[in-house]
């Protein structure tokens, strides 16, 4: 009988060890897995809490890439993608100035060429102007380093000629399409890749969301450390930004810059 209980005890311990390993295995896999090519995506699980991204924070960190700031602080990092200008940037800049919020604008080549005064204003008012590539290509299809580098460095040159300053080394992949090789090449150029943890469908010009639809996405899903992506082409964003910033402030949030996030 004692022998039976000894064998039973050893079997129980072995089974417990196997179950514990199986419970930890998915987490280990998630943290160590490679980053696959695709479009950046998010999974929101709990209102007011950070979502899960396509890749983990640890996997992205290997390439100086982020999608989320410090989750222990109620701080928002506001970013705008600027593919072209349609009259919305000025009211956006005015709302940011009213609240003393410094944002990051990710611009492309034609934006700088056609709107040099707005780009210089962004710089003058303390905003970061980041690299959204020269032509807004699907960068995951540029597998050779020379072609990839040209998309970023040609925009750097145009920015320097326009502003007299060097472009800050922040990169956002067009359409959020990326590959692990892209992240590696951007890192070799000294860039830090910035994804996002909150966005909504605001880019269709012929189907702009109502104010209520915008607030229904941007208020309940805001979370500590949020990197927010908005499009500067959105009439809705230009119209609601002052109120949106006020509402976020009333919820106890403050605003940080990408420089502060990486520091």
Domains belonging to the chain, first-starting first, are: 33-262 (3.20.20.370)
Strands 128-131 and 177-178: unpaired
Rounded Cα gap, residues 262 and 240, in angstroms: 28
| Cβ-contact 79, 230 below 8 angstroms | yes
Q: Tell the burial category of 18 from Cβ atoms under 10 Å away from its Cβ (0-12, 13-18, 19+).
A: exposed
Among 245, 222, 241, CA closest to 232: 241
**pLDDT tens for residues 189-241?**
999 999 999 999 999 999 999 999 999 999 999 999 999 999 999 999 999 99
H or E element that contains 111? helix 109-114
Average confidence score pLDDT of the chain: 90
Residue among 190, 178, 203 nearest 152 (CA): 190
**Active site residue ranges:** 81, 231
What pLDDT is stored for residue 33 in this prediction?
Answer: 52
Q: Reduced to 3 states, what is the DSSP secondary structure of residue 81?
A: strand
Q: Please state the pTM of the whole predicted model.
A: 0.87
**Band of residue 134 on the pLDDT scale cut at 50, 70, 90:** very high
């Amino acid at each position: 009988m004692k022998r039976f209980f000894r064998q039973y005890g050893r079997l129980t311990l072995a089974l417990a060890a196997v179950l514990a390993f199986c419970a930890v295995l998915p987490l280990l896999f998630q943290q160590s897995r490679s980053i696959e090519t695709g479009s950046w995506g998010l999974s929101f699980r709990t209102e007011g809490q950070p979502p899960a991204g396509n890749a983990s924070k640890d996997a992205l960190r290997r390439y100086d890439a982020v999608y989320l700031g410090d989750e222990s602080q109620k701080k928002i990092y506001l970013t705008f993608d600027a593919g072209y200008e349609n009259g919305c940037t000025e009211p956006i800049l005015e709302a940011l100035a009213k609240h003393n919020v410094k944002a990051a604008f990710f611009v492309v080549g034609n934006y700088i060429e056609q709107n040099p005064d707005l780009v210089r204003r962004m710089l003058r008012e303390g905003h970061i102007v980041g690299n959204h590539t020269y032509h807004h290509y699907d960068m995951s299809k540029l597998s050779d380093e020379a072609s990839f580098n040209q998309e970023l460095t040609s925009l750097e040159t145009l920015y320097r000629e326009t502003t007299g300053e060097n472009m800050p080394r922040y990169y956002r992949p067009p359409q959020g399409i990326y590959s692990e090789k892209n992240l590696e090449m951007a890192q070799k150029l000294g860039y830090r890749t910035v994804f996002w943890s909150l966005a909504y469908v605001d880019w269709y010009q012929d189907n702009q969301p109502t104010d209520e639809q915008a607030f229904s996405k941007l208020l309940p899903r805001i979370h500590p450390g949020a990197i927010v992506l908005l499009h500067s082409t959105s009439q809705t964003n230009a119209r609601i930004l002052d109120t949106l910033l006020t509402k976020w402030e009333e919820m106890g949030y403050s605003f940080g810059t990408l420089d502060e996030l990486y520091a």
